């Protein structure tokens, strides 16, 4: 894919307002890209999009590639009498990432802008200025004159989704890109690009490209979709945890931007299948694709649900290193994106029946 086309895809996927439970606009974008490339597309009972890339043959193994459509966001809890919004967080946020930010609220009348107001230091006693504002104290100012104005003129209702208002952009001419929701729109972008690379190719597995819902609140969409897909192998695509900025330590994370896709060797939800891990490393080595590892003590990801669906299947999580996850402004490297696309494309091309049988076999002596 040419750089301009990649930028267009990344912009399209990250600018849209689609927090957990409100993935509709992303589902439409992914469908639009995958529909011309896939044999069949369906949506499961809670909204995950299952794209069957090629015609299914029982003699071929099922390979499930997944990425999640949702992003962390907020939800309108109620509107105060004077027209401010109180909110519920959706997914994991630091309280200090929420304050004094711009937001987009998706209402029945369209998109509405708002900001999480912050008190001025002028009125805060010197001794408490270092304290962090708690999310329970926060509110969103939409410029409404009162509750009726917020409801009738702006169309705001309890339950409306709210996402960061921050647009995709290149970061000063290099290979880094700034945007919100890299977690996990970058995974979806890899998936779409892999499908495009494989257009017309005769592949030796039944390939399922699954865009899941509700990952950020407990891997829910991966659970239902992997039940339907019956994977023999699972490849999950995620945003990784870059730790290459001041104050971040190797103990927290080991990924750096620009050093290739990361293989999660441990996170709090999953340990990858060892043979699949070694297969990925072998393919990366043959294709001269740089790889890095990450051992995280937190973090959950959809691969865990694919791994334990039905009778269990070898699974791995491949991540594109990302700075400042779960905030208004994340940063990724286009080089890592390109290398992840190359790696996943190569894996799909090699996962034939014999290879998958070998990976799935546990030695008994
Ligand atoms: Co994620």
The tens digit of pLDDT for each residue in 252-310 reads 999 999 999 999 999 999 999 999 999 999 999 999 999 999 999 999 999 999 999 99
Report how far residue 88's alpha carbon sits from residue 76's, in angstroms, rounded to the nearest whole number.
6
Q: Which pLDDT belongs to residue 130?
A: 86
- Say how many Å lie between the CA of residue 363 and the centre of ligand 1: 33
Q: Which pLDDT belongs to residue 120?
A: 87
Report how far residue 133's alpha carbon sits from residue 125's, in angstroms, rounded to the nearest whole number.
14
- Say how many Å lie between the CA of residue 55 and the centre of ligand 1: 29
Handedness of CA 161, 65, 315, 327 (dihedral sign): negative
Phi-psi region of 268 (alpha: psi -120 to 50; beta: other; left: phi over 0): alpha
- The stretch 144-172 carries a mean pLDDT of 98
- Say how many Å lie between the CA of residue 360 and the centre of ligand 1: 26
Which active-site residues does the annotation give? Answer: 215
Where residue 345 falls among pLDDT bands split at 50, 70, 90? very high
Unique residue bearing structure tokens 């509700």: 214
Q: Structure tokens of 144?
A: 């409404």
Q: Is the pLDDT of residue 123 over 80?
A: yes
- Say how many Å lie between the CA of residue 141 and the centre of ligand 1: 28
- Say how many Å lie between the CA of residue 159 and the centre of ligand 1: 22
Q: Which pLDDT belongs to residue 365?
A: 84
Report how far residue 86's alpha carbon sits from residue 359's, in angstroms, rounded to the nearest whole number.
50
DSSP character for 240?
E
The residue ranking higher by pLDDT, 1 or 111, is 111
Cis ω before 222 (30° cut-off from 0): no
What is the rounded (10 degree) CA torsion for 62, 65, 71, 75? 0
Q: Which pLDDT belongs to residue 352?
A: 97
Report how far residue 215's alpha carbon sits from residue 301's, in angstroms, rounded to the nearest whole number.
7
DSSP character for 134?
P
Q: For helices 3-15 and 182-197, give the axis angle rounded to 10 degrees.
A: 140
Q: Which pLDDT belongs to residue 81?
A: 98
- Name the H helices within 230-287: 274-286
- The stretch 316-343 carries a mean pLDDT of 98
Q: Which pLDDT belongs to residue 1?
A: 61
Q: Which pLDDT belongs to residue 121?
A: 87
Q: Is the pLDDT of residue 32 over 80?
A: yes
- Say how many Å lie between the CA of residue 264 and the centre of ligand 1: 13
- Say how many Å lie between the CA of residue 11 and the centre of ligand 1: 18
The Cβ-side half-sphere exposure at 299, using a 13 Å CA radius, reads 24
- The stretch 67-75 carries a mean pLDDT of 98
Residues present in the chain in total: 365
- Say how many Å lie between the CA of residue 206 and the centre of ligand 1: 25
Q: Across all residues in the chain, what is the average pLDDT?
A: 96
Q: Is the pLDDT of residue 210 over 80?
A: yes
Q: ∠ CA(116), CA(117), CA(118), 5° rounding?
A: 120
Q: Is the pLDDT of residue 148 over 80?
A: yes
- Say how many Å lie between the CA of residue 19 and the centre of ligand 1: 12
- Say how many Å lie between the CA of residue 59 and the centre of ligand 1: 33
Q: Which pLDDT belongs to residue 2?
A: 79
pLDDT tens column, 211-265: 999 999 999 999 999 999 999 999 999 999 999 999 999 999 999 999 999 999 9
Q: Is 135 helix (H, G, I), strand (E, B) or coil?
A: helix
Q: Structure tokens of 112?
A: 């509405």
Report how far residue 237's alpha carbon sits from residue 126's, in angstroms, rounded to the nearest whole number.
46
């Amino acid at each position: 894919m040419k750089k301009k086309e990649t930028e267009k895809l990344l912009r399209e996927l990250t600018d849209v307002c689609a927090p957990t439970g409100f993935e509709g606009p992303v589902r439409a974008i992914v469908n639009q890209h995958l529909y011309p490339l896939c044999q069949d597309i369906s949506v499961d009972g809670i909204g995950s999009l299952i794209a069957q890339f090629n015609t299914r043959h029982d003699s071929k193994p099922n390979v499930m590639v997944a990425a999640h459509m949702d992003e962390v966001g907020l939800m309108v809890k109620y509107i105060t009498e004077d027209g401010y919004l109180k909110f519920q967080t959706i997914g994991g946020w630091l309280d200090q990432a929420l304050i004094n930010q711009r937001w987009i609220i998706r209402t029945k009348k369209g998109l509405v802008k708002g900001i999480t107001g912050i008190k001025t230091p002028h009125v805060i006693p010197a001794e408490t200025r270092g304290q962090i504002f708690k999310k329970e104290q926060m509110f969103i100012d939409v410029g409404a004159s009162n509750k009726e104005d917020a409801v009738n003129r702006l169309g705001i209702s309890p339950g409306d989704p709210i996402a960061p208002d921050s647009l995709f952009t290149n970061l000063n001419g290099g290979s880094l890109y700034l945007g919100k929701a890299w977690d996990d729109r970058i995974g979806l972008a890899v998936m779409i690009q892999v499908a495009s690379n494989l257009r017309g190719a005769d592949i030796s597995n039944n390939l399922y490209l699954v865009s899941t819902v509700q990952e950020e609140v407990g891997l829910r969409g991966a659970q239902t979709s992997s039940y339907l897909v019956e994977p023999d192998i699972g490849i999950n695509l995620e945003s990784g945890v870059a730790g290459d900025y001041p104050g971040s330590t190797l103990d927290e994370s080991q990924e750096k931007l620009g050093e290739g896709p990361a293989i999660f060797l441990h996170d709090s939800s999953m340990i990858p299948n060892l043979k699949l891990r070694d297969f990925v490393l072998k393919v990366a080595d043959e294709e001269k694709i740089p790889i890095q590892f990450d051992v995280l003590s937190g973090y959950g990801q959809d691969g865990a649900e694919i791994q334990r669906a039905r009778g269990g299947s070898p699974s791995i999580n491949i991540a594109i290193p990302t700075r400042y996850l779960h905030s208004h402004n994340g940063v990724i490297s286009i080089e890592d994106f390109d290398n992840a696309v190359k790696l996943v494309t190569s894996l799909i091309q090699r996962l034939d029946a014999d290879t998958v049988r070998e990976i799935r076999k546990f030695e008994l002596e």
